[in-house]
Amino acid sequence: MKKLLLGNEAIARGAYEAGALFATGYPGTPSTEVLEAIKDYKEVNTEWAPNEKTALESAIGASIAGSRVLVTMKHVGLNVAADALFTLSYTGVNGGIVILTADDPGMHSSQNEQDNRWYGLFAKIPVLEPSDSGECLNFTKLAFEISEKFDTPVLVRTTTVISHSRSVAEIQERKNVGLRPLEKNWQKYTMLPANALLRRPLVEKKINDLSLYAGESDINYAEYNDNSMGIITGGASFQYVKEAFPDASVLKLGITYPLNKKMIKEFAKKVDKLAVIEELDPFLEKEITAFGIKIDYGKNRLPSIGELSSNILRQSFGKNPTKSFEKSDVPLRPPTLCPGCSHRGVFRILKKLRVFVSGDIGCYTLGALPPLGAMHSCICMGASIGVAHGMSQVRKTGDQFKPVAIIGDSTFFHSGVTGLINAVYNGSNILVIIQDNRVTAMTGGQPNPGTGVKINGQAAPRIDIVKLAEASGVKNIIKFDPYDLKDTEEKLTAELEKPGVSVAISTDPCVLKYKIKLTPLRVELDKCTGCKICLSVACMALNWHPDTKKVTIDESLCTGCTVCEQMCNFDAIGVIDG
């Protein structure tokens, strides 16, 4: 049966049809919908892990125990899981392990742009790249076969457009492969140097065998048309190539690592000019050049930054662009915190206190943007505490310098808690603000270990952040209500004056996830002086009218959080009858 599926839904379906019994991962755009889709297949035990490394480690356990398992993450998530990945390449698998890495060229929702095909080369594992939802489903199923046949984890790499586009996929029945026998093979799974030395040559052999397999696999195929130009491509780039050069000969690679030299040589021989068209890095280009095959067009024509499009390809090859829907046709809407967001008030206060704010990744990163403008660094998930600690170690208390780290609950569980332990252990002087909105909001509201529910909605133990901070050795722990600006300012100021590590936990839940709406506020226009101070909290519910020089409140957006009311010096905002 044919079905229109999102790329991510198709990957979930593929793992289901392949008989996976376990699926795990950590949310991150553009990968998140895979686990959200697979959780609806009751045969697959699905869970959110607190981070990607834990997810991959659980997957390894499930595999050793005999199950096929899917692990999902965004591109930067694989950096977190990389420690386990590089040794998993040595141990291999029992039940097949398929790792989805969803890359984000163009950084639609990411802190960097990285091309995770390199992980294939670096960790010596195969990489499959689907070009539409049908391939997402089929390649995921095939990836399980490859994983078990070659005793290796397999990376399925998508990019945002593949994960988030809908196209047709062929649905089939689930193959109930069940559990393989549990292996207690210590030489295979215990990577002491002596055992790793034995496994090391097997890793090379596996890649050689996979390269031969790539030469025979029908997901690598050549289409010969006009042979004046032959294009080697894969993934999303294949779609752009088909639109921009419908008549060209194409070698479509479903397996983009390892490559098969013979296959590529044969294709190159049959065409006059050889082009390699790929998004981001010259990954295929470098591999093919290393085979001694001359490439006429590659990154000498194409950008290695951002997403490609058929028009970028056309223009790079001197053709006119076609009229198409381009990003510039869409009105620009700067990202901003939701009206009533519990993160807003704290940034207002931090700006007022003129502290250095070491930020982290989550909705609260928007506190860096003007007019809130109260975050001064943000590197990667969990980094806020480590960065603040490092600052405190070189600018001591005598300078009256106490950096503030701000981090969300999901990010704290992900990798912030180790930073906190380090800060206490090494005698830091920092204030850590944990914005506990009881959800992983940034990626669409997934539960986390502090939420009290699992991915399937079942109740789960709620990890207590206060107890965790206490157990980490923090002496000063307070809670504050971020909607009460006075209380927030007083409590944070008091903690900034104490030496050592303080933890301040903001206790209000996400308004969007928990659908919080109190009575909306209004502006009493007679009292509004047009001073605009209320606009400094960057709330979408507030509108400025240049003609009347007054502010009004959009009642459909206002949640009644009162932060703007507390900002107003003229009592012009409040719940007004009538």
Ligand X SMILES: Cc1ncc(C[n+]2csc(CCOP(=O)(O)OP(=O)(O)O)c2C)c(N)n1
Please report, as ranges, the residues that interact with ligand X according to CB under 6 A: 26-28, 74, 76-77, 80, 111, 361-364, 381, 408-411, 435, 437, 439-443
Residue whose CB is less far from ligand X, 152 or 365: 365
Q: What distance in Å separates the CA atoms of residue 474 and residue 211, rounded to the nearest whole number? A: 53
Q: How far is the CB of 144 from ligand X (least distance, A)?
A: 24
Residue whose CB is less far from ligand X, 101 or 131: 101
Residue whose CB is less far from ligand X, 256 or 410: 410
Residue whose CB is less far from ligand X, 309 or 435: 435
Q: How far is the CB of 385 from ligand X (least distance, A)?
A: 12
Residue whose CB is less far from ligand X, 88 or 381: 381
Ranges assigned E (strand) in 224-377:
226-233, 248-253, 255-257, 273-277, 357-358
Residue whose CB is less far from ligand X, 229 or 539: 539
Q: How far is the CB of 548 from ligand X (least distance, A)?
A: 35
Residue whose CB is less far from ligand X, 128 or 381: 381
Q: How far is the CB of 32 from ligand X (least distance, A)?
A: 8
Residue whose CB is less far from ligand X, 451 or 562: 451
Residue whose CB is less far from ligand X, 50 or 92: 50
Please tell me what DSSP assigns to residue 272: S
Q: What distance in Å separates the CA atoms of residue 144 and residue 140, rounded to the nearest whole number? A: 7
Element (H, E) at 536: none
The per-residue b/e assignment along 148-186, b for 16 or more CB within 10 angstroms, e otherwise, is bebbbbbbbbbbbbbbbbebebeeeeeeebeebeeeeee
- Of 463, 462, 486, 467, the closest CA to residue 477 belongs to 467
Please report, in angstroms and rounded to a whole number, the separation of the first and last CA atoms in the chain: 57
Residue whose CB is less far from ligand X, 35 or 156: 35
Tokens 């080697």 label which residue?
Answer: 232
How far is residue 345 from each of residues 42, 506, 507, 529, 554, measured CA to CA in Å? 42, 10, 12, 22, 19
Q: How far is the CB of 76 from ligand X (least distance, A)?
A: 4
Are the beta carbons of 455 and 46 closer than 8 angstroms? yes
Distance of CA 215 to the CA centre of its chain: 33
- Of 315, 293, 320, the closest CA to residue 302 belongs to 315
Q: How far is the CB of 26 from ligand X (least distance, A)?
A: 6
Residue whose CB is less far from ligand X, 109 or 476: 109
Are the beta carbons of 198 and 187 closer than 8 angstroms? yes
Q: What distance in Å separates the CA atoms of residue 245 and residue 3, rounded to the nearest whole number? A: 28
Ranges assigned E (strand) in 296-358:
357-358
- Of 335, 345, 358, the closest CA to residue 407 belongs to 358
Q: How far is the CB of 159 from ligand X (least distance, A)?
A: 16
Q: How far is the CB of 100 from ligand X (least distance, A)?
A: 13
Residue nearest to ligand X (CB): 408
Angle between helices 261-270 and 193-216 (to 10 degrees): 30
Q: How far is the CB of 51 from ligand X (least distance, A)?
A: 7
Q: Which phi and psi (to 5°) does residue 24 adopt?
A: -150, 165
Q: How far is the CB of 512 from ligand X (least distance, A)?
A: 10
Q: Which residues contact 70 (CB under 8 A, 6 or more apart)?
A: 11, 12, 15, 20, 22, 23, 24, 25, 34, 38, 44, 59, 98, 100, 140
Q: How far is the CB of 252 from ligand X (least distance, A)?
A: 30
- Of 109, 131, 127, the closest CA to residue 118 belongs to 127
Q: What distance in Å separates the CA atoms of residue 322 and residue 429, rounded to the nearest whole number? A: 58
